[in-house]
Structures are given as structure tokens and as C-alpha cells.
């Protein structure tokens, strides 16, 4: 049994997962999330702001306390779109390394593969629900959305610049609430990006489910279920229709951010990007000409944990990426 901690630093949130892995299976899993908004202003300035860096480092320090208290065997620290894009990413990477971590900025292709691998270990999403079909997995974050079909003979990944934070800052922040024209322009841009990505493959199976992981989808699932307290067991495998997501777009677009923060299911820290989340997922369904999506709690946190456990055991890596492990002393 290996106990692995994964710290994943995204554009909106910093998440931590602790997994007990035995013989290639996750036996127990716990997760914590803090909204740190690392990508604040990045789309406009091209750099990470000092305040956002400090928020992330504060979250990571707390998570390293969990590493010690839970007697984990190893910790892996990954960063995604914001660190890939920022001209001053070293301003975050250096202090992370000073904390004893080995931070890895993963490219979009790898990010998509890892997320799809994390989904593929879930028997419901990749087994009963998908049947004989390979699901299309979308990992929708604050700065990008990765699309992946993890097939037996070949796989396909496309990383798009469509994310809830980017869409919110680029299109939806001129007014509070935004104008109908701004929402329409956001939709148009998202759909164009997704259509262009989907046009590069013939592996997308129209009979297979669209499985979406990441904070955009889990937040909308919490709103759908009107969860006053987030419950991953209820959120996982929630089916959201395009009609239902479109209704959320209309609902959130009519509210200022302060009112969105009061909607049951919306964490107040996610209120500034929840409209962007709904626009992104509605646009994804429109671009793919699909009627619904399935929300996944399984994602790259579980995928990285399995890869780390394989690395510890000296087993072959199931996908072409090796985590950098910081071992317990």
C-alpha cells in the first residue's frame, strides 16, 4: 500500500488529493480544494500577480502539513495552464521548490492524458456508462480545456485556451451583470475553439458519453442538485443536459456577481467564474452537437496518484509521463 499526496495548482483552484493505492487500485481518496485564482489578470498582462502567488503558496504550505500528518509516502506537485502561459512562472516555481517540492509544469497534451486516465479507472464512467465505447473526456479548468479520447490502439488529445477564468475576464467582466452581447461573443469564441479542436480527429464517437471533470462541471452539478454542502458522492456521475446548462447561463447572466455568490451550490469564491463555467460547457455541447454530459469527480488527482504509486513500485507507466516524487523523510 502506498499513500500518495498530489497537489495540483490550476488557474482557479489549488487542489490536494490523498490516495491509498494498492495493486494499481485506489482504495481510499480524500480531497481538499482552495480557490486561489492564480490566473487573475494573466490573460491581459501575461504574468502572475504577487498576491495570487502568495495565495497559492499559503494553500500549498497547508497541504504540506497534511502530507506530514497523514504519513504519506510521497507528494507530487503539478501546475497547468497558468504556469505554462505566465512569463514569470519561476516566481512561483522557485518558492515551491524551496518548500521541498519538485514542481512540474505539465503541457496540455499530458494534462489531457492524465485526466482521461483518472476517469478511465472509474468503473461507472468508463465501464457501465461507456459500454464498448471510448468516452470523450473534457478536463475543463480556469485557463484551458483539454479534450481526450483514450483509446486502445491510439489516443487523441487537444488542448484549447478555453477556461472559465479566461472567458470571464476576456468577455464577461465589462459589466456586472454582463450584456447579452458579451455573453453571445463569449459563446461564439468558445464554440469556434472547440469546433476547431474536434475537427482534428475522427476518434470522437457520437455514441460514447462526454465525461467532464474539473471545477466548472462539479460546480454546475452542485447547483443542479442545490447542494448547500458539497457532496462528491452526489456530484459524481451527475448528468447535465444542454437545456439545463443553458438555463444556468441565462440565470447567472442576469445576476451581478454578489448575487451569484448566494446561489445554492455556488461556493462564494467561485461566483466570479460560475457564469464563465456555464458558458464554456454549453458551448462545448453545442460545438460537439451533443445533448448532455456526465460530471466526473475522478480526474487528474487520481490519475497522478496511480502513476506515482507505479513509479514507487518500479512498475511500467501506463501513460507517457513520469511524476517527480518528493519522498517522506
Express each pLDDT in 168-179 by its tens digit: 999 999 999 999
- Give the tens place of pLDDT for each residue, 101-128: 999 999 999 999 999 999 988 877 665 5
Q: How far is CA 176 from CA 37, 57, 69, 258, in A?
A: 19, 30, 43, 9
Q: Return the pLDDT at 87.
A: 98
Averaged over 295-313, what is the pLDDT? Answer: 94
* 234, pLDDT greater than 60: yes
With cut-offs at 50, 70 and 90, classify the pLDDT of residue 134. confident
Measured distance CA(260)–CA(273) in Å, rounded? 10
With cut-offs at 50, 70 and 90, classify the pLDDT of residue 240. very high
The mean predicted confidence, pLDDT, of the chain is 94
Residue, of 131 and 15, whose pLDDT is higher:
15
- Which of 102, 130, 146 shows the shortest CA–CA distance to 205? 130
Share of the chain above pLDDT 90, in %: 87
Contacts 24+ apart (CB under 8 A), 320-323: 320/110, 320/113, 321/106, 321/110, 321/113, 321/114, 323/76, 323/78, 323/104
All domains in the chain, ordered by first residue: 2-106+299-327 (3.30.420.40), 122-296 (3.30.420.150)
Residues 6+ apart with CB under 8 A from 19: 3, 4, 6, 26, 28, 29, 301, 302, 305, 306, 309
Q: Return the pLDDT at 83.
A: 97
With cut-offs at 50, 70 and 90, classify the pLDDT of residue 24. confident
Q: For the chain, how far is it from start to end, CA to CA, in angstroms?
A: 17
Q: Return the pLDDT at 320.
A: 85
- Alpha helix ranges (H) inside 172-241: 180-198, 215-224, 232-235
User: Beta-carbon neighbour count of residue 91 at 10 Å?
Assistant: 14
Measured distance CA(72)–CA(327) in Å, rounded? 8
Is 60 buried (19+), middle (13-18) or exposed (0-12) by CB count in 10 A?
Answer: buried
Q: Return the pLDDT at 261.
A: 97
Residues 6+ apart with CB under 8 A from 111: 80, 81, 139, 144, 146, 159, 300
Lowest mean pLDDT among 55-64, 100-109, 318-327: 318-327
Q: Cell numbers at residue 180, please? A: 447579452
Q: Return the pLDDT at 128.
A: 55
Amino acid at each position: 500500500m502506498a499513500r500518495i499526496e498530489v497537489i495540483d495548482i490550476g488557474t482557479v483552484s489549488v487542489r490536494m488529493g490523498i490516495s491509498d493505492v494498492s495493486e494499481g487500485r485506489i482504495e481510499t481518496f480524500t480531497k481538499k480544494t482552495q480557490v486561489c485564482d492564480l490566473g487573475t489578470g494573466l490573460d491581459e498582462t501575461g504574468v502572475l500577480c504577487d498576491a495570487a502567488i502568495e495565495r497559492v503558496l499559503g494553500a500549498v504550505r497547508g497541504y504540506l502539513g497534511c502530507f506530514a500528518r497523514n504519513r504519506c509516502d510521497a507528494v507530487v506537485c503539478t501546475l497547468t495552464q497558468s504556469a505554462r502561459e505566465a512569463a514569470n512562472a519561476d516566481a512561483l516555481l522557485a518558492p515551491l521548490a524551496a518548500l521541498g517540492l519538485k514542481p512540474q509544469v505539465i503541457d496540455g497534451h499530458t494534462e489531457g492524458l492524465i485526466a482521461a486516465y483518472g476517469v478511465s479507472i472509474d468503473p461507472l464512467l468508463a465501464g457501465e456508462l461507456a459500454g464498448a465505447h471510448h468516452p470523450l473526456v473534457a478536463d475543463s479548468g480556469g485557463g484551458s480545456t483539454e479534450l481526450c479520447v483514450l483509446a486502445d490502439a491510439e489516443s487523441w488529445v487537444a488542448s484549447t485556451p478555453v477556461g472559465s477564468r479566461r472567458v470571464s475576464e476576456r468577455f464577461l467582466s465589462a459589466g456586472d451583470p454582463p450584456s447579452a452581447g458579451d455573453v453571445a461573443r463569449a459563446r461564439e469564441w468558445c464554440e469556434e475553439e472547440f469546433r476547431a479542436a474536434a475537427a482534428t480527429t475522427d476518434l470522437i464517437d457520437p455514441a460514447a458519453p462526454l465525461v467532464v471533470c474539473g471545477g466548472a462541471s462539479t460546480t454546475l452539478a452542485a447547483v443542479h442538485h442545490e447542494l448547500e454542502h458539497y457532496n462528491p458522492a452526489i456530484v459524481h456521475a451527475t448528468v447535465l443536459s444542454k437545456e439545463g446548462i443553458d438555463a444556468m447561463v441565462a440565470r447567472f447572466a442576469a445576476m451581478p456577481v454578489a448575487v451569484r455568490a448566494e446561489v445554492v451550490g455556488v461556493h462564494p469564491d467561485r461566483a466570479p467564474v460560475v457564469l464563465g463555467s456555464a458558458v464554456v460547457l454549453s458551448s462545448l455541447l453545442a460545438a460537439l452537437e451533443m445533448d448532455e454530459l456526465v460530471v466526473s469527480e475522478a480526474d487528474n488527482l487520481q490519475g497522478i496518484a496511480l502513476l506515482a504509486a507505479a513509479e514507487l513500485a518500479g512498475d511500467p507507466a501506463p501513460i507517457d509521463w513520469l511524476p517527480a516524487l518528493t519522498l517522506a523523510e
